[in-house]
Structure 1
Amino acid sequence: MLQLLSLLQTYRFWPGTELSDRLGISSRTLRRDIDRLRVLGYPVDATPGAAGGYRLAAGSHMPPLLLDDDEAVAIAVGLRAAAGASIDGIEEISVRALAKLEQVLPDRLRRRVRTVHANIVPMRWDGGPGPTVVPEALALLSQACRDHEEARFDYRRRDGEESSRLVQPHHLVSAGRRWYLVAWDVRRDDWRTFRLDRVVEPRLAGARFTPRSVPGGGPAEFVARSIADMPVAHHVVVRATCTAEEVASLLRWVDADVEDLGATCRVALRGEEPAWLAMVIAGLATAVDVELEEDLSGAVGPCLAAVGRRLSRATPGPSRGGG
């Protein structure tokens, strides 16, 4: 039946005689196996007659799929990439699906997935150096959230201090192109938010727990408050000639406070890297007019000036045949 399902999932029409010959079974056995697939939820259309056959059709729900090695690797790599995508809501869904797939992948396919994914360089908008999160950590912690299982890991705080943590993972939240784990810290007896790029070697602890209610309206709100309470090194305020909704769509992955002023809006940006803030302002200026509302004599000002000079040099002038 698995071989039959694999053939039908190629989405071509199979004559009954060809299927019987391929599988080495009688036409009666073939009909019986087709009926079993239908009972399991696979919609198999049948064409009667001497030239009749079978085709797997689209049904009302998604039945389990059979994947060959190359297909499984391609899907796993795609899910890892989608976990950092800029499509609203797709990150959490991708991680859940990745956790299910990683759970059943053979070791040889896991190695292929890691090799392929290691050559994919993600686009970063958060200004941080290097890769954000190891996909295996996302998959493992997603599984811990799903199964209500405690997890252990080493954690490197913002100030560089390192500690070992035992937590009860509740939710994974994607915010500002970073992943955060909302968990109950067992030893500190309190809720904590952990940035996943600072989590080292997470592993399941083997103990189950009873889920708690995340305080303050839910996991996304809890993470948002935690981020807002964190000190940052640099702040910039600009006025943009567009609506607050337009700015929100342009800066969807940026930590920004937007105040609607009617025809314009005030945008307060904050971040750890002045060069990144300068890039955000330059990127915003490609879509709308931007006016700085404060003196940028600090670290952000020189970075923004350097971006302007480099863009000016990159623009072809009349002497080089440009317009």
Structure 2
Amino acid sequence: MNARHRQDAIVRSLRRNGTSTVSELAEEVGASRRTVLRDIGALRDEGFVIHSEPGRGGGLQLDPQSVQATARLSVAEVFALLISVASMRAAGSLPFSGLADAGLAKIERALPSDKLRDLRRFLDCLYVGKLAPQVDISDMGALDPALLPAFETAFLDRLHIRFGYRDAKGSISSRTVEPQAMLILPPLWYLVAWDPQRDDFRHFRMDRISKPEIVEGTNFRRRHVPFEEHVRPVRDLSR
């Protein structure tokens, strides 16, 4: 966990718990007490008012009035929220999906025009639809734990990703591709990639991918993804 993520986690913990000790925060974020104290100092420099109560039973408390009213979200973070909310809607009967959608709409309205343009580019790479009833999911397995962090980095930084892939017939092959988009057909997720060896797009079920690794120094360009007509952009599903 890098410094920014640690500090965000510390703020969330203090907001939710009211009071926490340095030791409790260190255990929660997986860092040393010294690192957490540095993070507390950095947060104070940013304007967060964090009170320290010495003695037994004391701890750290965050003054809620010091929390900035406008969240400083990156385009990638808003895109991640969009994926989560779109997945909730597509899954159907999950609680609070309507409230999550409303909250996300408020965040989108607050985005400056330059970030909104970047977000639209990301949205062109995200499609959500319904899985055809004839698709067999009896062999659906768990995702490789290394896949999501590797995919996120490769997708955002436009780097090739290499992995082993098991097709519907059980055959295993090694693939090195350009991750161009995501296709969400609950309960299945697909990586949509340009395969240089085949000079074409390929869809890979994420639960059939194993041993993913990023290929450093292999930047690629974004391509227009020719999705099937029955798959609609996520921005259309929310309106």
Could you state the TM-score of these two structures normalised by the residue count of structure 1?
0.35
Higher relative contact order (CA 8 A, sep 6+): 2
Q: Which has the larger radius of gyration?
A: 1
Could you state the TM-score of these two structures normalised by the residue count of structure 2?
0.45
